[in-house]
Amino acid sequence: MGNIFKINYLRNILIASLALGVVLPISVILFIYPSFNRLLIKDKQDDAVSIARHLAHSVVADQTELSRESLTNEIWHDIKGPIDDFGLKKLKIFSKLGEIIFSTDPEDIGKINKKSYFNDVVAKGKIYTKVVKKNTESLENQIVSADVVETYVPVIKDNSFIGAFEIYYDITERNKGFDKLISSSSFVLIFLAATLQAMIIIVLIKTGNNILNRKQAEKSLSESEERYRTAIENSNDGVSILKGDRHSYVNQKFVDIFGYESAREIIGEPLSKNIHPDDLQRVTDFALRRQAGESVPSRYELKGIRADGEIVYIEVSVAMTTYKGEAVSLAYLRDITERKQAEEKLQAVNLELDITNQQLENTIERANQMAIEAEYAYIELNQIFNSTADGMCVIDKNFNILRINNTLSNILDIKNEAINKKCYEVLECGICQGTKCQLTKALQKDKCVEIEIEKKINDSTMMPCILSAKEFRNPEGDIVGIVVNVKDITDRKKAEEEKLSREKFQGVLETAGAVCHELNQPLQVISLSSGLLLMDLAEDNPLYANIKRINRQVDRMGDITGKLITITRYETKDYLKGKIVDIDKASMEVE
């Protein structure tokens, strides 16, 4: 309800309708009913005038004034007829002085009306009418028993007032009916008015609500439009409305992005004005297809061209909408040139970082690998150090033993007790601490020194070995000690002796072979020749024995050469001051 008052015209309508609702019955009461009443009174007045004029013909006739005397029985009789015919309540005839000269109520006759209205109005020739309610006083202060219309009709003859008629019409029934009619009508009218008023109020309320809602909606829309307009106009993104491939609206930001002076330079222009040829076909295709209802990407990047020809990178977000009833593309554009440049820089930086990271990772991996390798190398070297067949130890510049491997420990039959001891206390090379000390020489020379020594390893055993020493440097290249290598050459010595022995034996064999071969040839000749001689000689021949002897010695020589061939080892025997090969032993099979 309150909404009605918020809308002026509705409020006015309400007020008007209320006013009408009030005014109407009031008007009925105050105007229509009185008007009807006045009309009726006028009607009755007119009737009264008509009757008065009619009666005047009879009453006035040739009279110059009305008096009691002028009213004859005949006139009385003429008056009575219309009184009955017209149903007059009462009729009075007044003289010009106001005396009642005739009345249907005889008691009235002779009374004089001295009221002002009679003298001031009626006597002036004007009709004077009054409606007198039942049981109220008439103009003449008489209580009437019915509702009457009391009408004074002046009689004018020769422009002179000669008297008046007073006619009482009984309008009681008429009033009743009229009142009833009026009441009914008023009731109906009021009911209708009230109903109408209610309907009007309802309609007004609804209308008010609708109007307010609509206004609210319009206001909201307007505010929304205003917000949108403000938002679009003040947007940090360019906004464009494309119809077909042409701009029908652009905001200021759009203008700024593309470096124009105003939107007028762009509106109506095609996309080719702002879009680089590289992307023009694609973007135009998107726009047209989108406006045709096809599904195309709504978000993409493009290369634009500013007014000054510079390239600008744009991120576009496009949607279909309607603008002034037509399907258009609504595009939001964001200058991402800086971002692109930043991205490119970032990409470059990332690439560099990736490369650096990769290099770092590679370096770390290499370092880890190197650490692992170093560890493995240490383990390996340690194993090598301890598993090498040669004895090894590391000595510092002060000849303290820092490390000793298992081989040397086993050779010397010591282990941890050698650590930090002086090398000459442990190694006991026999040349220690003297001018022949190889370790001292190793510290002084930049090359490996080597010497063959015999190391006493127990009370009876001397171990031939080669002792070599090389300076030991730190990563900076400074000499920090000596690496000593002690190689047990017992086996080598033994092998050398064996080799020498084999070579000697080989020499013996070869010599024996040569001797055999060379001797056997002439021995063969002698053997067969002596054999042939023995065949031709009798046993008692003096030559037989000598030749037989020759033959036997040849056989013996053959045995000897046979043994020489079968020498399998080197065996000697003393001969004078030296040694010779013992052929028998050397060719004898080993049991």
Does 537 bind another protein (CB under 8 A)? Our answer is no
Burial classification of residue 204, based on how many CB atoms lie within 10 Å of its CB (0-12 exposed, 13-18 middle, 19 or more buried): buried
Does 516 bind another protein (CB under 8 A)? Our answer is yes
Does 588 bind another protein (CB under 8 A)? Our answer is no
Q: Determine which residue in the list 15, 29, 319, 532 makes contact with another protein, applying CB under 8 A.
A: 532
Q: How far is the CB of 532 from another protein (least distance, A)?
A: 6
Does 483 bind another protein (CB under 8 A)? Our answer is no
The Cα 343–Cα 65 span in angstroms is: 127
Does 526 bind another protein (CB under 8 A)? Our answer is yes
Distance of CA 208 to the CA centre of its chain: 45
Stretch that binds another protein, among 141-149, 360-368, 467-475, 516-524 (CB under 8 A): 516-524
Stretch that binds another protein, among 104-112, 291-299, 411-419, 531-539 (CB under 8 A): 531-539
Residues 4/10, Cβ–Cβ less than 8 Å? yes
Stretch that binds another protein, among 56-64, 150-158, 375-383, 529-537 (CB under 8 A): 529-537
CB contact set of 438 (below 8 Å; sequence gap of 6+): 429, 431, 449, 450, 451, 467, 468, 469
Between 38 and 563, CB nearer to another protein: 563
Q: How far is the CB of 500 from another protein (least distance, A)?
A: 22
Does 521 bind another protein (CB under 8 A)? Our answer is yes
Residues 573/582, Cβ–Cβ less than 8 Å? yes
Residues 397/473, Cβ–Cβ less than 8 Å? no
Q: How far is the CB of 408 from another protein (least distance, A)?
A: 45
Q: Sign of dihedral through CA atoms 428, 432, 436, 437?
A: positive
Helix (H), strand (E) at residue 247 = strand 246-250
Does 513 bind another protein (CB under 8 A)? Our answer is yes
Angle between helix axes 73-86 and 33-59 (nearest 10 degrees) is 150
Does 310 bind another protein (CB under 8 A)? Our answer is no
Neighbouring C-alpha atoms within 13 Å toward the C-beta of 401: 23
Between 63 and 529, CB nearer to another protein: 529
Q: How far is the CB of 471 from another protein (least distance, A)?
A: 53
Q: How far is the CB of 590 from another protein (least distance, A)?
A: 15
Between 205 and 565, CB nearer to another protein: 565
Q: Determine which residue in the list 517, 549, 573, 585 makes contact with another protein, applying CB under 8 A.
A: 517
Between 196 and 526, CB nearer to another protein: 526
Does 562 bind another protein (CB under 8 A)? Our answer is yes
Residue type, 418: A
Does 543 bind another protein (CB under 8 A)? Our answer is no
Does 524 bind another protein (CB under 8 A)? Our answer is yes
Does 235 bind another protein (CB under 8 A)? Our answer is no
Distance of CA 307 to the CA centre of its chain: 33
Q: How far is the CB of 547 from another protein (least distance, A)?
A: 12
The Cα 405–Cα 16 span in angstroms is: 126
* Residue matched to tokens 């006597």: 123
Between 323 and 505, CB nearer to another protein: 505
Q: How far is the CB of 537 from another protein (least distance, A)?
A: 13
**Residues forming a β-bridge with 404:** 393
- Positions in 82-111 near another protein (CB under 8 A): none
Does 212 bind another protein (CB under 8 A)? Our answer is no
As separate numbers, helices (DSSP H) first and strands (DSSP E) second, the chain gives: 15, 17
Does 287 bind another protein (CB under 8 A)? Our answer is no
Q: How far is the CB of 383 from another protein (least distance, A)?
A: 45
Binding footprint of another protein, residue count (CB under 8 A): 28
**Residues forming a β-bridge with 580:** 573
The Cα 241–Cα 332 span in angstroms is: 9
Does 523 bind another protein (CB under 8 A)? Our answer is yes
Distances (CA, A) of 330 to 245, 278, 554: 12, 22, 135
Give the three-state DSSP class for 260: coil
Residues 33/179, Cβ–Cβ less than 8 Å? no
Residues 89/169, Cβ–Cβ less than 8 Å? yes
Q: Which positions lie near another protein, rule CB under 8 A?
A: 513-514, 516-529, 531-532, 534-535, 551, 554-555, 557-558, 561-562, 565
